[in-house]
Structure 1
């Protein structure tokens, strides 16, 4: 039986699948701040210490929770995740794409590549849809409480997960296998079979890597924001993204049509490659 090619759909989370930052759907309110106050303090900490914005927001979460008597366990983060708002059609999207892939002879896998918190995403209504979630996370003490950042994912760190998906590596800690030399034909998911979804600055290096090696990147934007639409169009014009699409994940949306067309192309290229090598 002929093996089906795997197509990886890789998503940023905040601004791509959800219209806001995940901390804004419960956590920030629980510590008595408005989103504006929290991010102003976090950004101020990063600038004042000349530090990573990602590590700064993780410290702010830790400090503000402790001040307000909130014990940050994995279960606490996952509870905040259940109230995350998602863009139109996101809940049904995965089933639609999986069905299209199955009917067109490809296997679909979905991944998250986010600077948000893995623990919050794990509590979201769509967590079960992902083959793996690459995102920031905390270390936990013997009581199961967060005590230190374990993984901080910024714009450059995001690129390592593209390489890991390419080689079929799901450990965030691994640094040996991901850097080992592997023949192209032995890599689990070729770059040409990747579709990257992103909306902001932290996605640019990952988009560039995927497109540079023959994959596709879609710059998504909140359809209610002219500013975000203009930014997405700028990414396409600069060659960072292959296409733009509003964050409408319904069957009638442009994103669905784009992905179906890309899947068709990936399958055709895969079949032609097999024919060329006389394996089909």
Structure 2
């Protein structure tokens, strides 16, 4: 008589969005041109305002989006932001959803239940408009408060340090931004839905460093991806991540089958599965 199969082990793949799943920043595709600004002009002004007001850069850029749109009498709505995200220039292997389906199947065959999450400083409503939105269990990203269907103020601003708290939200099964009681309450490790050692974080930039470092420290895995089309700019950043011991793995942002990133990810998942008791081609009997 065969022993009943154990429940699949929940495993989280967590992604930054801009520069990790898609080229560049979503705001730069159409929103910034629509308010009559150049990309560098917009971000230069954001940095200037951040220094001038001793403020958080994410909140400043969100406020600037509101201010510039209002000056042109182009109110920001959820639907307008979703449209800005519809044509997100995704990296290879993502647009048709094949990456997610392939990784999910790979995990399922090894008794892992793969869940995909986004933790991003980008705009949640823009990400909602992208082709692969349905592939994610939850998106944690910066978002606006809406009054009468119009964005009125930043509601959530996720910066490079606050990103780390969302690993704990995933770890504890808290699928919202507002519950600070649960996030700060003690919960035994064995009662947490997704342990840190069953997490993989994919990131590309400086804003991901604290998250990568914290997850690695907790026994999880971090993969730094880079855009080969950007040449030395991205590579020098990746070199720093490696030399500083922030990441274990590095690969081009190519999510196609048998790409370097695909092979690394499947290797990590195989290692996670083995730690959970999976043995290939092995049947257990009484």
TM tier relative to shorter chain = over 0.9
Q: Is the 8 A contact 2:144 2:156 kept in 1?
A: yes
TM-score, structure 2 normalization: 0.92
- After TM superposition, the structure 1 = structure 2 runs for residues 29-48 of structure 1, keeping only pairs within 5 Å, are 29-48=33-52
TM-score, structure 1 normalization: 0.94
| Aligned: 1:196 with 2:201 | yes
What do residues 143-175 of structure 1 show as CA deviations (whole Å, max 9, x unaligned)? Answer: 111111101110111011000000110110110
Of 57, 68, 88 in structure 2, the residue corresponding to residue 64 of structure 1 is 68
Q: Is the 8 A contact 2:252 2:260 kept in 1?
A: yes
Question: Match for residue 214 of structure 2?
Answer: 209
Question: Match for residue 23 of structure 1?
Answer: 27
What do residues 184-243 of structure 1 show as CA deviations (whole Å, max 9, x unaligned)? Answer: 111000000000011111111111111111110001111122221231132122211111
Measured in 2, the distance between the counterparts of 1:148 and 1:248 equals: 36
Of 55, 76, 86 in structure 2, the residue corresponding to residue 51 of structure 1 is 55
Measured in 2, the distance between the counterparts of 1:83 and 1:26 equals: 9
Question: Match for residue 283 of structure 2?
Answer: none
Stretches of 4+ aligned residues off by more than 4 angstroms: none
Measured in 2, the distance between the counterparts of 1:41 and 1:237 equals: 32
What do residues 78-105 of structure 1 show as CA deviations (whole Å, max 9, x unaligned)? Answer: 1111021111112221112112112222
Number of residue pairs matched? 272
Q: Gaps spanning 5+ residues in structure 1: where? A: 273-279
Q: Gaps spanning 5+ residues in structure 2: where? A: 279-285
Q: Secondary structure at the match of 2:180?
A: coil
Measured in 2, the distance between the counterparts of 1:22 and 1:103 equals: 35
Measured in 2, the distance between the counterparts of 1:187 and 1:159 equals: 17
Measured in 1, the distance between the counterparts of 2:22 and 2:181 equals: 33
Of 113, 121, 126 in structure 1, the residue corresponding to residue 119 of structure 2 is 113
